Structure 1
Amino acid sequence: MRPKRETGFSIAIICALPVEADAVEALFDETYDRLGKFYPKRPGDANSYINGRIGEHNVVLCYMPGMGKGSAASVASSLLVSYTGIQLALVVGICGGAPYPSSNTQIFLGDVIISDAVVEYDFGGQYPSGFQRKTDVKDILGRPDRAIRTLLAALKARKTHIEFQDKMSQHLCIIQQSEARWQHPESDDILFEASYHHKHYRKDSSVRCCCFSGGSSDDICKDARKTNCSSLGCDENRVRRRRDGTEASKASVHIGKIASADTVMKSGEHRDEITSKEGVIGFEMEGAGVWDNVSCIVVKGVCDYADSHKNKTWQAYAAATGASAAKTFLEYWRPMHGEVREHHWMVSFPKNPQFVGRQYEINQVEKFISVLDGPRELAITGLGGVGKTQVALELAYRIRDRDSECSVFWIPCTSLESVEQAYLSIAKALGIQDVKPTEAKEQVRNNLSQASAGKWLLIFDNADDREMWIPDNNATTALKNFLPQSNQGHILFTTRNRQLAVDLAGHTVISIPEFDEETGMKFLEKTLIQKDLLNDNDAANTLLTRLAFLPLAITQAVAYINRNRIEQLSDYIQLLEEQESEIVELLSENFQDKWRYKDIQNPVATTWLISFQQIQHLNELAADYLSYTACVNPRNIPRSFLPQPTSKKRIDAIGLLKAYSFVNEQAGSSCISLHRLVHLATRNWMKKNHRFVQWIFKTADRLDEVFPDSDPANRQRERYIGLLQKVGDCLYSDGRYNEAEALFSDMMALQLRKIGNEHPDTLTSMANLASTYGNQGRWKEAEELELQVMEIRKRVLGNEHPATLASMANLASTYRNQG
């Protein structure tokens, strides 16, 4: 995962030559920045950098202005000005090799040397007896730190050493496929005797050079230095060792001391002397300078034998083997203690101090996330307004507080535009440069799928729209195609649609129920301004019950109570006992909540509108079932009341309503129940869309189909007397008297049997039926019913009761209409 700033880089790679840096960059897994466009240098830093990633490590590649310890020391010192988090520096490139460092070891061109110590062999004094080196860097600057020593010791073990070389060969193959210059030179690997110098041995009368006229046998002219052995005519009889270039062997890795100085080693005799005296295996010019500033490892490919016969033929190949070894080394290197991986926090809401309960559900999610090989996708599902977002939010903050290395990203799925904008923001945070909106989702997926991204949690909140995730046409733009996969990452969905939750997260689905009484009371205690309102415990329980223990409904009620300074909870409860239209108006009133999205409906009466529309789109029969159930008592609705298509269609339709938590059924029961507040919201939705009256008639027709007569066996019909009254009133007002008569007649028969002829509801039904008879011109039948109603009301209510007087007036009107 790309660091936000320079402190996120812990590994530096320092190269003295362009060919060395080119080889290293060729093995980058990702390039973040070039020459400080994204990561600007601080004042006092004159270096040039390329930033990128090798494996799981964020790496800064540093160019040196020239070779030598002094230049290396200056570069390392400046490096730490801008990159204060560097824990390890690798000096990577090419070097001279000691061909016979020991009696049982040989080093060849293309092999790799890794330092476990650096010997600064030109650091000392010149005495009459000769040059005396003071000591090695191991004593002056200290040994490599413990983490480096431990790893190097492990790499010397036989099996690990073989594994290391195999991995290095794989990386070498990759770089060689990228560019031809990294291939094996296919030149013979020739080692001359140490005392045999690369110089003119045959005097040309036309040429005067120091090879002959110099005062020492070590003198070599410039022309000789520029000429290769073949052209110069170096004596083949003085070759000590030769390896055929057509038989390229796998490069070997050698771990040991490396000699470092400000001068290039070009003497075989001097090389062997230092090799024997100091126990070194290679020669280079930068390691000692870097070592003085930061923990350092030298990793270099052998391009010559540090003698006068050295040339550039093997440099590119040696640079490639050195870079391949460095990348392999980093695969074994683990971040040192105290190194903090760059992490990201992108969450839409502040922590909610009013959050209560849900411990069981949160513990379930945390348990799944903590399992080493556990599920990578999880889903939280439940009724809209039940608090899924708040559970996810609480989980996000707990993970942030518990694991500082885990990045958390929050994507609101309220619309496709909001998803795309969130992906674009994440891409920028991850340091993906010049990202196009159309490519952001793919690039974020690829970035988070890499091991270098570290630990992360990706939360898709309000993932309710199936078409957005799994469209029917299997479009490649479906969001499911852009989910990252990583052993260190987890994805959490919150959704109202349990079916979609199963499709996205498999069996790892956690349901969020409404509050229980204890949690509901705690929530009221945290959110009400006037705490003394809770002194009336019965009123508080009644309020929670009337609001169906739904967190959103309780939040809305508390906002109304706080804003209007209501003195008693019973006052708000009384509002919930008004006529349906007034209750809907109360529950439709908007309120402020900083933990909900600004662009979606907050009030209870409107929060499910989007769900209604999604159900309409997904399953027309399910939408019809919802409309039927909204027209009757929401409790214990017989399945037989709903239209009965094929079994699969019925199961699919009810299954979708259950997936949205709109309906539920008890095991073994043939009835379903609609959530009370959903019932109210559905009726409101139907009225706003001018569909309510239409469905009242459809429901009445369905009742006639299911309960065709007044047979006592049809006891279920008694539950729908209130509905029949409303339907009958609608039919009567529309002048559909024959249909109204049938309903009023059925109602009267049911009421006579159930509550008797003296009950006010029965008398109302008799009066309604008499009035219907009158409008049909059936005056005699109307007269008989009105006479019965009047006599009963006289006896029960008295002659002067308003209802009795109304009956007398109705009877008089009937007499008048009969003449």
Structure 2
Amino acid sequence: MAAPSRESYATGIICALALEKAAVLATLDEKYCPPKDNTTTSDSNIYTFGRIGEHKVVIACLPAGVTGKVSAATVAMDMMHSFPIKIGLMVGIGGGVWSVKDDVRLGDVVVSQPDGMHGGVVQWDFGKMEAEGRFRRTGTLNKPPRPLLNAVQSLKTDHIIYGSKLQVHLTAMWQKYPRMAKIFQSPGQAHDDLFEASYTHPHGDNCALCDELRLVHRPNREETTPQVHYGSIASGDEVMKDGVTRDRIAREEGILCFEMEAAGLMDSFLCIVIRGICDYADSHKNKQWQPYAAATAASYCKELLGVIDPKAIDELKSPSQPAMRFDCIPLSPNKKFVGRAKELKMLETALFAERSTQHIAIVGLGGVGKTQVALAFAYSVMDNHPDVSVLWLPAMSVGAFEQGCREIARVLGIPMGGTTDAREPLRQRLSLRTSGPWLLIVDNADDSDILFGAKGETGLLSFLPKSSLGSIVYTTRSREIAQSLARNDVVKVSRMGLDEATEMLRLALDHDTLTNEQKITEALLEELECLPLAITQAASYMNCTNTSLSGYLDLLKGSEDDLAFVMGQEMRDSTRYEHSTSAIATTWLVSFKQMLRRDPDAADLLQFMSCIESKSIPRSILPEIKPAARATSAIGTLCSYSFISMKDGEHIYDLHRLVHLAAQIWVRQSKRTVQVRERAIRHLATVFPCGGWKNRKIWQSYNAHAFKVLGADEPKYCVERAMLCYRVGVCLFRDQKYKDAVRCLEEAYYCYCYGQEYSMGRLQTLLQLAISYGAMGQAKRATEVLKPVGYDVSCVLGKDHPYTQDVLSAAYLMKGPLPERLLEHVVAIQRELPEPAARKAAEQREPLLEVKLRLCSEHDPTTMSVQHALATGYQADGEMGPAVILRELLFATQRRAFPHNEVVEESGRNALISAYVANQQTSKAVGLMERAVANQVQVLEEGDSRRLRSIHNLASVYLAHGRPEKAAALLAHVVSVEAGILPEDHPNLIASQRDLANVQQTCEHAVEMSAQQILDKVVIEFPGLAVTADKDSLAIKRNYTTAFGGQWYLSRPCFSRSVQWRRPKLARISHRPCNLRTLVVLRDLGFPRY
């Protein structure tokens, strides 16, 4: 006859071993060829087809050497996918449990049957370890379908009346297949040995060496026909080979048999389990009884199918038919969801259009809208893919995950059997192809300990299903977790665009006020960083309190307390979890706590960042973490949570502004605000540069962060705070931000006074404060500040200390009698200082320079300082020829050594011009100064103080060169510009007006050219000038003359007397800071405005 079609097979039989399948094949009444419309290409099973009674059966065996529940489940799923299976039978061998109540012997048959506690099969090794080491098995497996249970009941009745037909079927098997008669015969009762549970098998393949005294005495049976027992069968991943454990589990669960495959079938392959007993599930097990036990199980299978009405099977629905769609989403659809078209398209393309992956992760900052994107996608799948079931599991905690599993299990109708843990039953059900296509959203997968397990616990990922028909979408804040879950299949959700954010705010507000308030709306959304959760919260607050857009914006721009209050307001929303955090200020606290537990270094960095500005954070300002790999890992953690982002190609980071606020709240709630802030100040006081020009870019990038820390409420005055204020003040002074510098220096001085009466830091602060007052034209305040300096320095260091003279020398630049007295004091002390013995050999200036040139490169700073001091000495002695030569050499060397340092170049140029003028080489001075002015005119604004100073200097050179008309025109220009930007009493303006008046008196003719014409001519004369400077790099940060503009006339006499004494010693002690600084001032005062 023709082979039956694939659709005609409704009964499936699965065996684990070859001898089990052989026994079943021997019971077939008829064997068929495979159907022409055979299995699908994805099915790797090998099937045998035939008939037992009136039932067409398809038989499959597990792969060789691959037994167990997972393998059984795989074989069953493929069978059900290939055939319309309605009932199944698991036929094979197992280990029996003998008791006085249940006289289970070798060769008997045990059939799974539900009782009040189990569905016929219990997974004995699945459960929880409870107190005192007690293991509680959790979860139940499905019971067999009703037609099979009806057949079992009918067969039991027949056996009571007529006895079983097992022996009849066995005999028929041996007669039909003589080769099987010898192998599959019963070994006999004489070989049915049951040893005491506590007696362990010594060794050997059989029990020939076992102690017969340890045998359990049981009476012999009168009949040799195998008996059939009905009850619970225990299934597990491991072979049961311990008698004590066997008996304990049997007592607890009412077990008659142990095996390894049934647990993988009962929730998908609706079957009954038939096991022939081949051993007693202890250490004495061997293979002697396996063939006969397989034969008795196959015989019972044949007898059972003989009493099942095929019509009853036809009425059953096939589990392998397309599954009914089921949906379980705990959140309502968001009717006001807007935007995110790009992200939704990426999800649709990856999971459905291209099917390029089954796992994809949505990652982004907390509050950026990941859950809402997933929710919108879930409902779009329900609309666009009616055959796909959509499920949702929250993963923010183990409890939430378990509750989600229970709800889905309820929707799917998965039997729970009295247990509350639905995770494993749900995993098994969804892993079956019979569940059909599904989409699972795993939301808030943020905690790695919960996901992957910690301290030996099972992670939630172990309970996620695996099916070729299923897809999983994760939402997580952690990029690291996203990579672990989905590799490169990650959809990043960032802040909304302005248009999307505006539309979201409009929909969220009760009334539309955005049309007439566009600028306020944009400003508000920028303050909220266009973050969806912040927008939703803001709209909720404004709706509830009837606050206007401008009013809410004022709150955001108010104090930190106001901002923390409005951002901490919770709201109710059906599109969010009932007990979840809906306030933007607290939504990240959970992540902070997770990070503190997993990566304390990252948490420390975040706490430090909460004290400084949130934008443009240089990596170099962060607290040092060793080794470097730990630091990189900590920063990686912050980036992974999207808390910080790195600017392209730079080690500069931005901390999300609202995360910055949340971090401050976190620190405050942990009552560590003072501790964290003090630690930040101590760190910044250590890493903040001292003001050297080479560190200018560093201090400029640090300034804002230092201001943020120092501007905190209720400052605690300490030495570290004073140090930081001083360093910031010095750097601000270098940047000509004198008012800000004075504020910092005043606070530094207050901190020093608060802590101790005298210290070097206090003296340095006083000196810098006086200089800063002078730079602002407040010479009187500068003088007042310097009054106690002499006494304070002497108290700290003594009158003979070099720094004493260095501090007092600052008074040279002040007017009045006080500097005169201080100067005399300095000169008197310096005259008394003994010369160091090591320097007595250098009696002349020239030998010292020769020594330096032999020992050091001409580019060495100390060599150049000696050249500078020597040139100054020559110039002071009136030896202008050597002075000019040295200045030219030094200027050329400086330009080679510092090719891009305009400050060094301008300082050297000014000194050279001074020498040219003193040597009456004014034409060279004019050329050099015109070149400098040509550069600055092209790159600096008209009112820039550096440009005005250079033009003033050019005017002075013109005057020395005998061109008073040009000098007058330039000075008139300087006065005109300064009058428009400086107050009337500013020293620079007064000095320019005085110089202009003096020059005009020397002019014999009217001015023929305007200042602009002169400057234009200067620029034209240098057409090839390479403009490499910018506005900042041309500034001279240590130009005393500019700082104390116009006061050089009053201080010059003091310096003249000081230099008369210093001049003989310049070559020997020119390296001293006090002398070098005096020489710098002398150079500046030797020629006006230099």
CA deviation vs aligned residue, 1:386-416 (integer Å, no higher than 9, x gap): 1111011111111111223322221112221
Task: For residue 409 of structure 1, give the secondary structure of its aligned residue in structure 2.
Answer: strand
Give 2:651's match in structure 1, choosing from 660, 670, 690.
Answer: 670
Equivalent residues in 2 for 1:92-131 (5 A)?
110-111=29-30
Q: Which has the larger radius of gyration?
A: 2
The reply to whether residue 245 of structure 1 matches residue 245 of structure 2 is no
Letter in 2 for 1:440: A
- Match for residue 464 of structure 1? 446
- Match for residue 572 of structure 1? 552
Contact in 2 for aligned 1:424/1:437 (Cα 8 Å): no
- Between the aligned partners of 2:563 and 2:660, the Cα distance in structure 1 is 12
The reply to whether residue 419 of structure 1 matches residue 338 of structure 2 is no
Q: Aligned in 2, Cα 1:163/1:709: closer, same or farther, shift over 3 Å? A: same
- Between the aligned partners of 2:416 and 2:317, the Cα distance in structure 1 is 32
Give 1:441's match in structure 2, choosing from 423, 427, 447.
Answer: 423
- Between the aligned partners of 2:564 and 2:363, the Cα distance in structure 1 is 26
- Match for residue 351 of structure 1? 333
- Match for residue 629 of structure 1? 609
The reply to whether residue 607 of structure 1 matches residue 587 of structure 2 is yes
Give 2:517's match in structure 1, choosing from 514, 519, 536.
Answer: 536
Give 1:396's match in structure 2, choosing from 366, 378, 382.
Answer: 378
- Match for residue 620 of structure 2? 640
Task: For residue 595 of structure 1, give the secondary structure of its aligned residue in structure 2.
Answer: coil
Give 1:550's match in structure 2, choosing from 531, 548, 551.
Answer: 531
Contact in 2 for aligned 1:164/1:328 (Cα 8 Å): no
Q: Aligned in 2, Cα 1:440/1:752: closer, same or farther, shift over 3 Å? A: same
Q: Aligned in 2, Cα 1:499/1:772: closer, same or farther, shift over 3 Å? A: closer
Q: Aligned in 2, Cα 1:763/1:556: closer, same or farther, shift over 3 Å? A: same
Give 2:60's match in structure 1, choosing from 162, 170, 174.
Answer: 170
CA deviation vs aligned residue, 1:457-506 (integer Å, no higher than 9, x gap): 1211111111011134453x211111111111111111111111221222
The reply to whether residue 597 of structure 1 matches residue 577 of structure 2 is yes
Q: Aligned in 2, Cα 1:375/1:324: closer, same or farther, shift over 3 Å? A: farther
Give 1:705's match in structure 2, choosing from 686, 689, 693.
Answer: 686
CA deviation vs aligned residue, 1:772-792 (integer Å, no higher than 9, x gap): 455444699999899899999
- Between the aligned partners of 1:444 and 1:433, the Cα distance in structure 2 is 10
Give 2:744's match in structure 1, choosing from 765, 769, 776.
Answer: 765
- Between the aligned partners of 1:486 and 1:725, the Cα distance in structure 2 is 57
Give 1:693's match in structure 2, choosing from 667, 674, 692.
Answer: 674
Q: Aligned in 2, Cα 1:391/1:152: closer, same or farther, shift over 3 Å? A: same
Task: For residue 604 of structure 1, give the secondary structure of its aligned residue in structure 2.
Answer: coil
Task: For residue 606 of structure 1, give the secondary structure of its aligned residue in structure 2.
Answer: coil
Give how far 1:384 is off: 0.3
Task: For residue 510 of structure 1, give the secondary structure of its aligned residue in structure 2.
Answer: strand
Percent identical: 27
Give how far 1:752 is off: 2.0
Q: Aligned in 2, Cα 1:669/1:740: closer, same or farther, shift over 3 Å? A: closer
Q: Aligned in 2, Cα 1:780/1:435: closer, same or farther, shift over 3 Å? A: same
- Between the aligned partners of 1:630 and 1:731, the Cα distance in structure 2 is 14
- Between the aligned partners of 2:637 and 2:368, the Cα distance in structure 1 is 18
Give how far 1:622 is off: 0.9
Q: Aligned in 2, Cα 1:756/1:469: closer, same or farther, shift over 3 Å? A: closer
- Give me the TM-score of the superposition, normalised by structure 1: 0.57
Give how far 1:648 is off: 2.2
Give how far 1:726 is off: 6.2
- Between the aligned partners of 2:406 and 2:586, the Cα distance in structure 1 is 31
Give how far 1:626 is off: 1.1
Letter in 2 for 1:668: G
CA deviation vs aligned residue, 1:396-449 (integer Å, no higher than 9, x gap): 111111223322221112221111111122223222223454642111111111
- Between the aligned partners of 1:383 and 1:390, the Cα distance in structure 2 is 13
Letter in 2 for 1:771: Y
Contact in 1 for aligned 2:365/2:643 (Cα 8 Å): yes
The reply to whether residue 317 of structure 1 matches residue 302 of structure 2 is yes
Q: Aligned in 2, Cα 1:318/1:626: closer, same or farther, shift over 3 Å? A: same
Give 1:384's match in structure 2, choosing from 324, 345, 366.
Answer: 366
Letter in 2 for 1:111: E
Give how far 1:706 is off: 2.6
Contact in 2 for aligned 1:354/1:526 (Cα 8 Å): yes
- Give me the TM-score of the superposition, normalised by structure 2: 0.44
- Between the aligned partners of 2:362 and 2:316, the Cα distance in structure 1 is 37
- Between the aligned partners of 2:382 and 2:770, the Cα distance in structure 1 is 78
- Between the aligned partners of 2:494 and 2:657, the Cα distance in structure 1 is 15
Equivalent residues in 2 for 1:202-217 (5 A)?
none
Task: For residue 531 of structure 1, give the secondary structure of its aligned residue in structure 2.
Answer: coil
- Between the aligned partners of 2:10 and 2:763, the Cα distance in structure 1 is 107
Structure 2's unaligned 5+ residue stretches are: 1-6, 16-26, 40-44, 52-56, 62-86, 95-106, 111-161, 163-172, 181-297, 793-1090
- Between the aligned partners of 1:504 and 1:769, the Cα distance in structure 2 is 53
Equivalent residues in 2 for 1:35-184 (5 A)?
110-111=29-30, 165=50, 168-170=58-60, 176-177=91-92
- Between the aligned partners of 1:716 and 1:374, the Cα distance in structure 2 is 48
Give how far 1:677 is off: 1.0
Letter in 1 for 2:404: A
- Match for residue 435 of structure 2? 453
- Between the aligned partners of 1:676 and 1:315, the Cα distance in structure 2 is 74
- Match for residue 599 of structure 2? 619
Contact in 2 for aligned 1:470/1:480 (Cα 8 Å): yes
Count the aligned residue pairs. Answer: 541
CA deviation vs aligned residue, 1:309-367 (integer Å, no higher than 9, x gap): xxxx999738749989999999999999xxx7422221111110111111111111122
- Between the aligned partners of 2:88 and 2:405, the Cα distance in structure 1 is 35
CA deviation vs aligned residue, 1:283-313 (integer Å, no higher than 9, x gap): xxxxxxxxxxxxxxxxxxxxxxxxxxxxxx9
- Between the aligned partners of 1:651 and 1:387, the Cα distance in structure 2 is 28
Give how far 1:578 is off: 0.9
- Between the aligned partners of 1:403 and 1:333, the Cα distance in structure 2 is 23
Give how far 1:162 is off: 9.4
Letter in 1 for 2:92: Q
Q: Aligned in 2, Cα 1:664/1:246: closer, same or farther, shift over 3 Å? A: same
- Between the aligned partners of 1:321 and 1:386, the Cα distance in structure 2 is 64
CA deviation vs aligned residue, 1:619-673 (integer Å, no higher than 9, x gap): 1111111112222222221222221422321221111111110011123112121
Give how far 1:163 is off: 7.2
Relative contact order, higher structure (CA 8 A, sep 6+): 1
Letter in 1 for 2:612: V
Q: Which has the higher helix share?
A: 2
Contact in 1 for aligned 2:508/2:539 (Cα 8 Å): yes
Letter in 2 for 1:168: V
- Match for residue 363 of structure 1? 345
- Match for residue 563 of structure 1? 544
What is the Cα-based RMSD across aligned positions, in Å?
4.8
Give how far 1:176 is off: 4.7
Task: For residue 177 of structure 1, give the secondary structure of its aligned residue in structure 2.
Answer: strand
Structure 1's unaligned 5+ residue stretches are: 1-11, 14-22, 30-107, 115-150, 184-225, 227-241, 250-312, 797-803
Letter in 2 for 1:317: K
Q: Aligned in 2, Cα 1:360/1:168: closer, same or farther, shift over 3 Å? A: same
Q: Aligned in 2, Cα 1:368/1:613: closer, same or farther, shift over 3 Å? A: same
Give how far 1:722 is off: 5.3
